[in-house]
Homo-oligomer: A and B are copies of this chain.
Amino acid sequence: MKIGVLGSGAVGREVAERLVEGGHEVCIGTRDPEVTLQRTAPGPTGAPPFPVWHAEHPDIDLVTFSEAGAFGEVLFNATNGLVSSRAIAAVGEEIGGKIVVDLANALDFSRGFPPTVVLGEHGSLGQELQATFPTARFVKVLNTLNFALMFKPNELADGDHTLFMAGDDEDAKTTVRALLESYGWRDIIDLGDISGARGTEMLLPLWLRLYGLFGHFRFQIKIVR
């Protein structure tokens, strides 16, 4: 598939790299590619500046949000949840009909750690985005685990753990499920319509607490039943 990844940070890079490995055509969208390509400082979470990563992945084009939106049959929202709405707005009309895999969480670190989860007036970021861009087909998924595990589920407990998926469009969820299963995911629970995003975004405070406790990201939730 042709896939546009919105967001050039550590998450977007990992998503793009794994999707290319899986045989997909991928580009990364950012607000202003020239600015991103001139960065010399590490990102807020310590990721190397984009050009350092890009030198090792010259096959993945960095383009504008709008160009990434036009390119992809499927888009991945790998932007910071606090600015996702602005990033997707920058895609413009091309967003219509597109599947948007929304793996973002809106975390407000302005008052330190742990951050506040911003759920917004619609109940969650996923619902907020779907309401703001009604012609796009959002699928909330992959927002409950560290990015290093998103496309490598089998690296933890032979993949014996759970993903949650929510979205209004059944075809979009079928496409996203097939894509994720091609990376080894076996237990993807469809929570129903996009309002299911709320419960998954509200997992973040527990997730962050466990991260602080364990001191690493290599953990996941499994729903035992």
Contact = CB atoms under 8 A, between A and B. Distances in A.
State the oligomeric state as a number of copies: 2
A55 interface: no
Interface in A177-225: 189-192, 196, 198-200, 202-203, 205-210, 213-214, 218-225
A224 B223 contact: no
Q: What 7 A-B pairs have minimum CB-CB distances, sorted nearest first?
A: A199-B206, A219-B225, A199-B205, A202-B202, A222-B222, A161-B224, A157-B224
Contact of A225 (B189, B199, B218, B225): B218
B200 A206 contact: yes
Most buried by B among A160, A191, A207, A210: A210
Given A164-B206, A203-B202, A213-B189, A221 B224 contact: yes
A156 interface: yes
A224 B145 CA distance: 11
A140 to B, nearest CB: 12
A63 to B, nearest CB: 36
A149 to B, nearest CB: 10
B189 A210 contact: yes
Nearest to A214: B225
Contacts of A117: 202
Given A218-B225, A223-B221, A224-B156, A198 B205 contact: yes
